[in-house]
Chain A
Amino acid sequence: MASKIIDLDHVCLLAALRLTEKEKEELAPQLEKIVEWVRQIAQVDLSPTEEAAYPAVDFPAPMRADVVQSSFGVEEALSNAPERDKEFFKVPQVIEGKE
């Protein structure tokens, strides 16, 4: 069953995921059900509220002084790189052409 609410191909493109047809078939009804379920939020009157992206912790969290501090060295930063070239992360061809 293809999802009526979610355009899976479009969302996968945005999320940089590539699903097989089988995976899509399995996922579509699950997502449909979850999205239907989350829609119950609309049943409650939210008109007197504002958007709250973070908890309203009412305590000071002052910024630290803007002082330069040491960070990772190049070798440390590259230590987990799947592929490197000298001091750089190496990636496959960026400009799309023949794969």
Chain B
Amino acid sequence: MIPDSAVRLAHLIRTGELRAQEVVEYFLHRIKEKDEQLRAFITVCEKEALAQAQALDKGAPARQGLLAGVPVAVKDNIVTRGIRTTCASRILENFYPPYEATVVEKLKRAGAIIIGKTNLDEFAMGSSTENSAFFPTRNPWNLDCVPGGSSGGSAAAVAAGEVPLALGSDTGGSVRQPAAFCGLVGLKPTYGRVSRYGLVAFASSLDQIGPLTRSVEDCALLTQVIAGQDHRDSTTAAQPVPDYLTELAQPLTSLRIGLISGELLEGIDPEVGTAFERIINYLEKEGAQFEEIEFSSWKIALPCYYVIAPSEASSNLARYDGVRYGFRDQKVNQLRAMYEKTRTKGFGPEVKRRIILGTFALSAGYYEAYYGQATRARHLIAREFSSALKKVDFILTPTTPEPAFRFGAKADPLAMYLSDIFTVTANLAGVPAISIPVGMTKEGLPIGLQIIGDFFQESQLFRLAFLLEKKVEFRKEYNKII
């Protein structure tokens, strides 16, 4: 029997009770069985994964690592040396990176096995995986629903048991929202906690790589492996990485909880609201103190995000010009026309929409009114967070206003953007936030709770998440996914 817990799997492999090869073979088999329907993976690295497993079984030093022999799926916007990395875009369809992302290096050093690259909204722009240039991924709880996005492939793969752990990236909620939609634990670490070297840039001041797992323990373990300063990413902080797994089980010494005003919670799905209230009531019994937080800036966070993220994207995506890598339209024989045709054919509609929006917001005559204003709004958001987190230890919100929606339900781009209402603030302020599953709807879709904490307080987030996980006992629900 192969356990689904990464902590347990790594232990069994380290002690020799399981061989890495049989573990990898088991999960490759799961992928073959499930992925025709789910389509969580863009690339499955069968050969490489088996070779890595065999090396471990022969006694490679990584066999004593924290993630010895544990298969990990990596979102396809994180570069893997020699393994195709597409960002789910036609423009990078045949891109084979000549270098490895820092997080992937760290995973391998810890003994993890990269089993495949997962689907996403093109360049991580979207909340449903419908914007993938290749195919959408389905939600394993209900195949007619989206798995969320943009890390939808990573979330679907873990929820369906195709892999025990996955990495996603979170620019405005792209780890937490799919975690909520697929019933998983998903962390967006503090900005600067995890190296972005090798994460294909979308909005550099907001992007963070984060884990998607079935348990808080596994999330702590994976965070432990990928966190830390990296000389190749100057925005990583020189903060020591605590032993998250050990700290997890320690009791919370203070439980002051901030709640955002009711106005922001108006219009959320009633079942999401009920699940949220149930958690609040439970925490009250546990002795938590509550305080309503005045956040005048929360309501402008989304518009602020939708100026800043596209602005940075328009600049970051200028590199796709058909010269050094990626797709090139070969039918034109002049440089400027080649740039334009390459980009027009290579990018999908949402990516073009955001490039245009960002280019507009940064253009002469509009910069101050749009980008300038948005960065001021961001300052206000950060300030309100910092004063709130002086008074409380955590801020709790639902992760999403509603559970997973059906394919095609959000054809209007603005309606799709509104799914990120609770998640974008943590990216703008830079603070860490975790989503954990706290219930199911009558229709059998998971509901997520978001816990936001102060800078570099991931340990605290894990502790509260761990406490709630024990109360909710969500784990048994995975048996419903066959």
Residues of A participating in the B interface, judged by any CB pair closer than 8 Å = 6, 8, 10-12, 14-19, 27, 30-31, 33-35, 37-44, 46, 49-64, 72, 76-77, 79-83, 89, 91-94, 96-97, 99
Contact = CB atoms under 8 A, between A and B. Distances in A.
A12 B356 contact: yes
A44 B297 contact: yes
Contacts of A89: 323-324
A59 B377 contact: no
B95 A80 contact: yes
Contacts of B296: 44
B137 interface: no
B269 to A, nearest CB: 22
Interface of B: 94-96, 98-99, 190-192, 205, 229, 231, 234-239, 296-297, 299-300, 303-304, 306-307, 314, 318, 321-328, 330, 332-341, 343-344, 347, 352-353, 355-357, 359-360, 363, 370, 372-380, 382-383, 386, 412-414, 417, 428-430, 455-456
Given A81-B325, A82-B327, A55 B428 contact: yes
16 contacts: A6-B356, A6-B360, A11-B360, A15-B314, A35-B357, A37-B303, A44-B299, A52-B376, A54-B191, A55-B192, A55-B382, A72-B98, A80-B95, A80-B326, A94-B335, A99-B333
9 A-B pairs with the lowest CB-CB distances in the bound complex, closest first: A55-B430, A80-B325, A82-B328, A52-B379, A51-B375, A38-B303, A64-B231, A49-B379, A59-B237
Nearest to A15: B359
Contacts of A30: 353, 412-414
Contacts of A52: 375-376, 378-379, 382
Given A17-B356, A46-B380, A57-B192, 14 more contacts: A14-B359, A17-B340, A17-B343, A18-B341, A30-B353, A37-B306, A41-B303, A46-B373, A55-B430, A59-B237, A59-B455, A72-B98, A83-B328, A99-B337
B363 A33 contact: no
Contacts of A50: 376, 379
Contacts of B430: 54-57
A38 B321 contact: no
Given A59-B239, A83-B328, A94-B335, A41 B99 contact: no
Nearest to B321: A16
Contacts of B428: 55
A97 B351 CA distance: 31
Contacts of A60: 237-238
Contacts of B339: 16
A57 to B, nearest CB: 5
Given A38-B370, A80-B324, A14 B363 contact: yes
B355 A81 contact: no
A14 to B, nearest CB: 5
Nearest to A16: B339
Q: Is the interface of A mostly helix, strand, loop or mixed?
A: loop
B376 A34 contact: no
Contact of A57 (B94, B237, B318, B327): B237
A57 B357 CA distance: 27
A52, A58, A83 pick with most chain B CB within 10 angstroms? A52
A55, A62, A99 pick with most chain B CB within 10 angstroms? A55
A28 B269 CA distance: 31
Contacts of B205: 53-55
Contacts of B299: 40, 44
Contacts of A56: 379, 382, 386, 429-430
Contacts of B376: 46, 49-52
A82 B323 contact: yes
A10 B360 CA distance: 9
A92 B332 contact: yes
B344 A40 contact: no
B125 to A, nearest CB: 13
Nearest to A5: B360
Given A31-B356, A50-B376, A92-B338, A38 B307 contact: yes
Nearest to B372: A51
A99 B341 CA distance: 13
A83 to B, nearest CB: 7
A44 B300 CA distance: 8
Nearest to A79: B98
Contacts of B314: 15
A50 B380 CA distance: 8
A40 B303 contact: yes
